[in-house]
Structure 1
Amino acid sequence: MKQTGQKGGPRTLKTVTTASRVLDAVKDCDGIGVSELSDYLDISKSTAYIHLRTLEENGLLVQRGDRYRFAFKFTVLGEYARNQSPLYRYGKPEVEKLAAETDQYTHIVTEENGYGVNLYQVKGDTSVDGEYQTEKVQSQDHLHYTASGKAILAALPDERVEKIIEQRGLPAQTKATITDREALFDELEQIRERGYAYNDEEEIRGFRAIGAPIEDPSGQVLGSVSVSGPTSLLQGEQFQEHVPKLVTQSANVIEVNINMNAQS
């Protein structure tokens, strides 16, 4: 079994890395066949077949016709991982209340490998439906253009933020997206001062959000809570004062519940 790794860094298994790339290909292509995987990863068809069959035999993929797709075993593993998170356990009831109070989408988000991951999402009564919100919980977000992501970045040490920027960059989603490093750090300082972050059409045109960070008893950031909705509904005092107050209150309640249970 071949091992790889940067000089001076930890050694890794090449076969596991390749298996991870195969799984990424299955997701990106919404299911994949042998020939398609061969082209996607630039490997022989026989090697592609072996990888797909191995993952199938281990319960991670299922074959439907001539294509391989994710097995529901990932659902079991994902639910287990999510349920281990105190951010999810203690945040879930609070974002449900927040959705009822604001009538908009609410989210619990955590940072992993420099991306934002949606742990939980609730639809409010007047929330706008669409594939955007469905896809959001199935993908990772860059942190610099979402309110939840910027709230997390503001709570992280500058060195960690620098590393995330180096790894993930600052790609533009809209004309309003912050793509300049210095401008981002200026924004993060403002977020620290007021306690919450804005996304003002920076991720998608016509859409706004407010997010606040959540920390554990040691001060380490666990993630954030946010509310998002169309600009026609999140405007004026609603956007500048009312929703930010509700979001920060929810973040505070989640923190208190986490901290109290950590000490019990």
Structure 2
Amino acid sequence: MAKQTAKTTKRSLAVINTIQKLGGATLDELTGELEIARSTIHLHLQTLLEEGYLTKEGAVYHIGLRFLNHGEYARSRKKAYTLAKQTVTELSDRIDEEVEFVVENDNRGILVHESFHPDSHFPSKERHISTAPSSAGIYYYLHSVATGKAILAELPDERVEAVLDDRGLPRQTAHTITDQDDFIRELEQIRDRGVAFADEEYVDGLREVGRRVTGPDGSVLGAIAIIGPKYRFTDERYTTELPEILIEYVDDLETEISDSYLDDYR
């Protein structure tokens, strides 16, 4: 049976997403982009404007700061996410590289926390994902990043198939795995070794090492990855040293998460 959805809500979301995609938009621009009547778009704009979800500068509508309140609430709602933020910062400080915590959302990976070390910035990746100081909230295709692979490796086969059917395996670089059979074999290897590698699969010249983060019940909460340029992620540092450090930090994080859950029931 087909899922029932609210058409009005979907239209409001389409307006919001289009405004963000365009970096701000006028009513005329939205009318040209969306298959929605101009009068209907205007009604959605006025409602969102009155509620603080949009702001207007001249004739141009922009995303409003009220979304910031919801976003901060969402990423601090779970104690595990707050603990992950601390781990991301401490790990980045230790290894002088970029570290990210990513969670699965809508069959993609969403960046929840990141820590940029002064020596870790990789310009190609920053230009690819955002021009903002923080990239929190951006989405990744799960198959092309180490965090995404680490998460998928923890999911049941039918769930993995659903994700791949929904999002596919789009090519990000010449190194991205785009064959489903090859990708399934990659997930099997990740399960065996406990870490995921993404070798220039999201951005040319960028390497990643990722490991899943699980809760006390064994469910996957997200994943943490160490990310940096290929010229620094060489030989044993990439294949052995960084994975060992990452496993150490994630194991400690999972212990903290388990302890916090126990504290809630004492």
Alpha-carbon distance in 2 for matches of 1:34, 1:41: 10
Match among 93, 108, 116 for residue 109 of structure 2: 116
Using the aligned pairs only, state the percent identity.
34
Name the residue aligned to 2:98.
105
Q: Does 1:83 find its partner at 2:76? A: yes
- Who is 1:3 aligned against? none
Question: In structure 1, what is the Cα distance between the partners aligned to 2:39 and 2:194?
Answer: 55
Q: Which amino acid aligns with 1:244?
A: P
Change over 3 Å in CA distance of 1:261–1:87 after alignment to 2: closer
- Determine helix, strand or coil for the equivalent of 1:12: coil
Q: For 1:223-238, list aligned pairs within 5 A.
A: 223-238=222-237
- The one-letter amino acid of 2:49's match is E
Structure 1 counterpart of 2:57, which letter?
R
In the TM superposition, 1:1-264 aligns within 5 A as 8-130=1-123, 132-133=125-126, 135=130, 136-264=135-263
Report if the CA contact (8 A) 1:144-1:150 is conserved. Answer: yes
Q: Which letter does structure 2 place at the counterpart of 1:100?
A: D
**Secondary structure of residue in 2 paired with 1:213:** strand
Q: Which amino acid aligns with 2:172?
A: Q
CA distance in 2, matches of 1:131, 1:202: 13
Report the CA distance between 1:148 and its aligned residue: 0.7
Gaps of 5+ in 2: none
Q: Distance in 2 between matches of 1:199 and 1:132?
A: 14
CA contact (8 A) 2:122 2:228 kept: no
CA distance in 1, matches of 2:182, 2:19: 37
Q: Kindly indicate whether the alpha-carbon contact (under 8 Å) linking 2:112 and 2:137 is maintained by their aligned counterparts in 1.
A: no
CA contact (8 A) 1:100 1:125 kept: no
- State the TM-score, normalizing by the size of structure 1: 0.94
Distance across 2 between alignment mates of 1:124 and 1:114: 29
Whether the 8 Å contact between 1:212 and 1:224 is mirrored in structure 2 is yes
Letter paired with 1:18: R
Which amino acid counterpart does residue 218 of structure 1 have in structure 2?
D
* TM-aligned CA deviation for residue 138 of structure 1: 4.1
Deviates most, 221-230 or 122-131:
122-131
Q: Secondary structure at the match of 1:144?
A: helix
The gaps in structure 1 that reach 5 residues or longer are 1-7
Work out whether residues 88 and 101 of structure 2, in 8 Å CA contact, stay in contact via their aligned partners in 1.
yes
Q: TM-score scaled to structure 2, two decimals?
A: 0.93
Distance in 1 (CA, whole Å) between partners of 2:66 and 2:59 is 20
User: Per-residue CA shift, 1:129-148, capped at 9, x if unaligned?
Assistant: 53733624342110001001
